[in-house]
Homo-oligomer: A and B are copies of this chain.
């Protein structure tokens, strides 16, 4: 509180500390902290974010603000032994924005404040450098004019260019003499007079007041608002303003400015890292006028400052117990710390640093674990675009980052094409509007997948993540001309066979063949690289082991094939939470039988078609049970609508019409030739099965009810496979899951039909094996009546993809058209298909868990939607007491880490 009972609005650096970021902003709080631990920080003070918010709210400074500023300014002048803008020996200050969270370059800063026509002379005298003084003044008028007085920056730039032009064709700033700069400053002041109708303010205190106001205003500037939207920073925070005594890095060769990291932010290695630019101010570094030196070169240029910097870096890292990112300036051999914060780092560096710091004793192992970002873990397993390329190349477009990792290959437009090219040994990127289950065979032969429609839960995205294939989806600036086998984007035309590179980690697309780097956690690398990799592996193992010790949630995989199951198990999966059987209906041989089943006119024909599918399915299950021996495997009976196994409606209708026009007896559908009569039959069936909204149609348990032989066949195949395994000495743990249940009766009647079929197999094979029967909870109604359903279920598995689709009324295939806008305009808190929407979908889940466990305390509950691999959602699943999460094999480690952190975080919170 200020003396009169008001909230204190201005803090001297001595009065704050690093925990006051809310009030002083990140920069202010850290300047205070550095000051208090005795590092050389130019003195100064900070006006609070509250002052800013009050100003933005009411349009005027809060009462008493400038009184407090005056008090602190007086104290600053006392410390420095100079007066702001004094004619003979002026104190100059910088006025810098600083919000709670770093918003680099988004808000405004004014340097050299305090200069005017008189004090510039004093500065010249004190610095013995007239050119420096006039250059500082020129810069101040320009900056003040642009930022505080809202004069378009071009006006000053043009004048500067004219001044340089007078000196010769290729003249630089540095070619301007003191006199040139004096004239230029006069011209700048004239510009101010013209643009504002008033003289440039010479009174230093007036300059300061206006500069503070301008920084306050910059919080609501267009750039800052857009940045906050993008980075999910609240608009309600406001910015602090730091008024700091100026120090100059541009006072000669014994001066300079730089950025230092206490460890390497790219590799995590414990070594000083950064840049240094002699005889320069911070803005010169940004402007890129000269190339910077490596930070370590400072050791030779200025050993004393280097030692002091090293000491300060040590102090800061120990004090912050983390890698720090530091801005410093050397003014005539004197080192000043201008800013510090905990530094950003790559996913790789995050793991290496956490491990090293734990080993060094700087932090505890649990703290190390909690510092790891599970959202970035997957990156350690993925190839990345070579750093130089990534920095240099501008992407042609950007879509949704649907499946992480970089991929490079030649463009193909059909699944069949992908397969053919891959068989010829070509690397391909499959480019489509969207994919369907028909495309699966081509997708798995592609290096990467690029779609122009569909969201992060479209078919393409789900399959890509499941298979670990990089994918960029919903890149809606891409226009595909299917017939021409080409696409256009960003003014370029890309033909089949052209090279593209996609980065599924950030959604970027490049129309070039870029180099890729091995993943950080690649197993086989040679030479020096191998030692470095071993270190990463050590860090990885240490923290994963701890996460596994701590977590309560089991982690299972969504896996549909023996290969996926083995991969998942190697990654630590403790079972399969979702084995989708629809993929077992694909492949040439199978599709034929599936179509026979669909076209069956009599129960006998249907029975025969199903009988031919049974041994194929059984074989799939044997492999999966073997890979997961001793661990639970949840098999979901067929879920998608049957028309997914038939040709596309429009394609077929057009092909039939064209064949009829041409009086041809054969129809070509997707490179397959079939007789016209047959094509007409198929078309009739497609029309008969057509659904306006297949997502809400004849699928899941509804199929099981309408075609009872289908599920019975699947159950027989599952149980026969389990029997095979038992006879081979294995230990299959079988859970059979009925999808899309909305009522108790559906599950009850299905169990009544299917349990005898299962029992019959067990009796015939003389095998004793407990079977568990359960359901997906993936419809809002199922959540609401979960108590009723729990009476007849051994387990629940939340199908949060469909639950999100139905709760929100969002088709995941169609939201590409508006979800981007929804995120941008904050109409959704986050993409609900990525992170569980707690107040909506999450509430439905909580209701279901509560009602289900109340009725049936033995009920086992998990989640098998895509959210099972999302760290925030894993925390939620921990909180609502689920038993396990199940996710794609490539997210197993992510889920394990997040589950460990959730348990550890909850334990820490409880102990407080």
Bound Cα distance A570, B607 (Å): 59
Q: Which of B662, B811, B818 contacts A692 (CB 8 A)?
A: B811
Considering residues A706, A802, A817, A841, which has the most beta carbons from chain B within 10 angstroms of its beta carbon?
A: A817
Closest to A745 in B: B827
CB-CB < 8 A to A662: which residues of B?
Answer: 661
What's the interface size class on A, roughly? Answer: 35 or more
CB-CB < 8 A to A740: which residues of B?
Answer: 809
Digit string of A764-803 for contact with B (CB within 8 Å is 1, else 0)? 0000000000000011110011001000000000000010
Bound Cα distance A145, B904 (Å): 77
Q: Is the CB of A821 within 8 A of B705?
A: yes
Nearest-Cβ distance from residue A681 to partner chain B, whole angstroms: 14
CB-CB < 8 A to A698: which residues of B?
Answer: 814, 817-818
Q: Does A677 contact B (CB under 8 A)?
A: no
CB-CB < 8 A to A840: which residues of B?
Answer: 742, 780-781, 784-785
CB-CB < 8 A to A221: which residues of B?
Answer: none
CB-CB < 8 A to A827: which residues of B?
Answer: 705, 743, 745-746, 749
Nearest-Cβ distance from residue A158 to partner chain B, whole angstroms: 33
CB-CB < 8 A to A788: which residues of B?
Answer: 839
Q: Does A531 contact B (CB under 8 A)?
A: no
Nearest-Cβ distance from residue A650 to partner chain B, whole angstroms: 5
Q: Does A101 contact B (CB under 8 A)?
A: no
Bound Cα distance A88, B828 (Å): 91
CB-CB < 8 A to A746: which residues of B?
Answer: 827
Bound Cα distance A706, B822 (Å): 9
Q: Which of A259-315 contact B (CB under 8 A)?
A: none
Q: Does A147 contact B (CB under 8 A)?
A: no
Q: Which of A812-827 contact B (CB under 8 A)?
A: 813-815, 817-818, 821-822, 825-827
Bound Cα distance A696, B801 (Å): 14
Q: Does A603 contact B (CB under 8 A)?
A: no
CB-CB < 8 A to A658: which residues of B?
Answer: 657-658, 661
Q: Which of A296-338 contact B (CB under 8 A)?
A: none
Q: Does A675 contact B (CB under 8 A)?
A: no
Q: Is the CB of A781 within 8 A of B818?
A: no
Bound Cα distance A778, B806 (Å): 11
Q: Does A694 contact B (CB under 8 A)?
A: yes
Q: Which of B697, B781, B805, B826 contacts A745 (CB 8 A)?
A: B826
Beyond A654-B657, A809-B779, is A825–B705 a contact (Cβ under 8 Å)?
yes
Nearest-Cβ distance from residue A210 to partner chain B, whole angstroms: 32
CB-CB < 8 A to A661: which residues of B?
Answer: 657-658, 661-662
Q: Does A691 contact B (CB under 8 A)?
A: yes
Beyond A705-B825, A705-B827, A780-B780, is A814–B693 a contact (Cβ under 8 Å)?
yes
Closest to A842 in B: B784
Q: Does A649 contact B (CB under 8 A)?
A: yes
Q: Does A55 contact B (CB under 8 A)?
A: no
Q: Is the CB of A811 within 8 A of B657?
A: no
Q: Does A363 contact B (CB under 8 A)?
A: no
Q: Does A184 contact B (CB under 8 A)?
A: no
Nearest-Cβ distance from residue A806 to partner chain B, whole angstroms: 5
Closest to A826 in B: B745
CB-CB < 8 A to A839: which residues of B?
Answer: 784-785, 788
Considering residues A661, A743, A817, A827, which has the most beta carbons from chain B within 10 angstroms of its beta carbon?
A: A827
Q: Does A843 contact B (CB under 8 A)?
A: yes
Q: Which of B749, B810, B825, B841 contacts A696 (CB 8 A)?
A: B810
Nearest-Cβ distance from residue A236 to partner chain B, whole angstroms: 15
Q: Is the CB of A692 within 8 A of B692?
A: no
CB-CB < 8 A to A828: which residues of B?
Answer: 743, 745
Nearest-Cβ distance from residue A707 to partner chain B, whole angstroms: 10
Q: Does A844 contact B (CB under 8 A)?
A: yes
Q: Which of B697, B784, B785, B807 contacts A781 (CB 8 A)?
A: B807
CB-CB < 8 A to A811: which residues of B?
Answer: 691-693, 695-697
CB-CB < 8 A to A826: which residues of B?
Answer: 745
CB-CB < 8 A to A815: which residues of B?
Answer: 697
Q: Does A702 contact B (CB under 8 A)?
A: yes
Given contacts A649-B650, A705-B827, A742-B809, 10 further A-B pairs with CB under 8 A are: A650-B650, A658-B661, A691-B811, A692-B814, A693-B695, A696-B810, A742-B840, A745-B827, A780-B806, A784-B839
Interface pairs A-B: 7 shortest CB-CB: A780-B780, A696-B811, A781-B840, A693-B811, A692-B813, A661-B661, A697-B814
